[in-house]
Amino acid sequence: MDADVPKVLKGTDICSILAQILYKGVSWNYNPLVFLATETLPGARSGSTASNRSSWSISSRSDSQCSCISCGTSGELKRRPSKVNSAGVKVTDHYRLDEILGEGTFSVVYLAESLAEPGGWAAVKVLEKSSLCKEEDLSFLVAKEVEILSALSHPHIVHLSEVYEDEEAVCLVMELAKGGEVFDRLVQEGHFSEADTAGVIVQLLCAVDHMHKAGVVHRDLKLENLLFYDDEKESRVLVADFGLSDWEWALNEDAPVCGTPGYMAPEVLSGGRVTPSADIWSIGVIAYVLLAGYPPFFPVRSDVDDRSEEEELVDLILKGRYEFHEHTWGDISEDAKDFIRWLMNLDPEARPNCEEALSHHWLNGKIYRRADEGIGETLRSRLAFITGLIALLYCYYHFLTFYFEGKLLSN
């Protein structure tokens, strides 16, 4: 938790405009209750469903370090394991809930201050049990999210600190990202430079690589689920919202189609088996949006076309119809376009895994150039400091010389 009072970014009217093109906070879930009613939580005993689960499953895990540029000089990251508090203990016994940071279908996220450590801030995700059990008991989804988050520990993944449960709600105490959504910063800037985009993508690939090696598929990677740790230009990026994530072994052709349409891979939309490769496609879409400032798949409705925007969007994705428009992409390198084409290959088998994607020359070139620029700036600032110090010493030397000469003459 951070000692500083956080500064929370707010959305703008542009966000609501972009929402109309299906890229802002919209999730699809086709007939999920068929799946939810029979799903067994990973790690649960045979014959017990997640809905009648009496305790939370916390996976064992070890902290994972990251060697990307943003983490290379930050030292070892130590986090305490996720903690599940005794049933009946209320989150308000330990935290003061402040303003609302965001709202979802089943949850509200609050800014919260620790009562034991005043000035220690966190984000608390409150899931009301009444909302989870309106038509069908979906509480197992919360249990799965807790289990997955407790199995992950990475500098670029939001950390789950504690879990509280009472008769009314389940509350997840999470690491606070004060910098807001990457989406919001993109709206403010219009688009990212190649160097800044590469910086975000490298951190994202490092985080997703950690997930995939742990057997987790995120299934809803998008700009709204990427957060800046703070307001600094070179802020660390965190992956958040694991509500739709699942274990790779549990995903088959019968799993429900879920995610945010514009970021979903073609094989997911067509009802095929979801694999880690679907996350790779989403990362390709994210890279496209960051560089261009708009999505690769944009439905354009016609008066003579009876299809809805959603149907047209799905058709464009299934056929992989996107372009690098000259007016936007003319000044963007061919390496960047090649990287996006590689990740957004219609064939899941032809897409790289995270480690392979990290080896692409576009990322390496842009990241090292970005690092060199940072080193150059550091050297310039240090040189200015040394020059100033020498000038100060020079003046001090002459002052002492004049002082003692005056003393000698007076004697």
Catalytic residues: 220
Residue 247 φ/ψ, nearest 5 degrees: -75, 140
The answer to whether residues 179 and 235 touch, using CB atoms and an 8 Å cutoff, is yes
d(CA 142, CA 107): 10
d(CA 356, CA 353): 5
Element (H, E) at 55: none
| DSSP code string of 183-224 | HHHHHHHSS--HHHHHHHHHHHHHHHHHHHHTTEE-S---GG
d(CA 392, CA 386): 10
**The two structure tokens encoding residue 113:** 């201050």
Q: Which residues contact 238 (CB under 8 A, 6 or more apart)?
A: 156, 157, 158, 175, 177, 207, 226, 227, 228, 229
- Residue 329 amino acid letter: W
Residue 165 φ/ψ, nearest 5 degrees: -140, 130
| DSSP code string of 11-39 | --HHHHHHHTTT-SS--EESSHHHHHTT-
Q: Give 42's Cβ-side CA count (13 Å radius).
A: 19
**The two structure tokens encoding residue 51:** 């809905």
The answer to whether residues 22 and 313 touch, using CB atoms and an 8 Å cutoff, is yes
The answer to whether residues 322 and 170 touch, using CB atoms and an 8 Å cutoff, is no
The answer to whether residues 240 and 158 touch, using CB atoms and an 8 Å cutoff, is yes
Q: Is 380 helix (H, G, I), strand (E, B) or coil?
A: helix
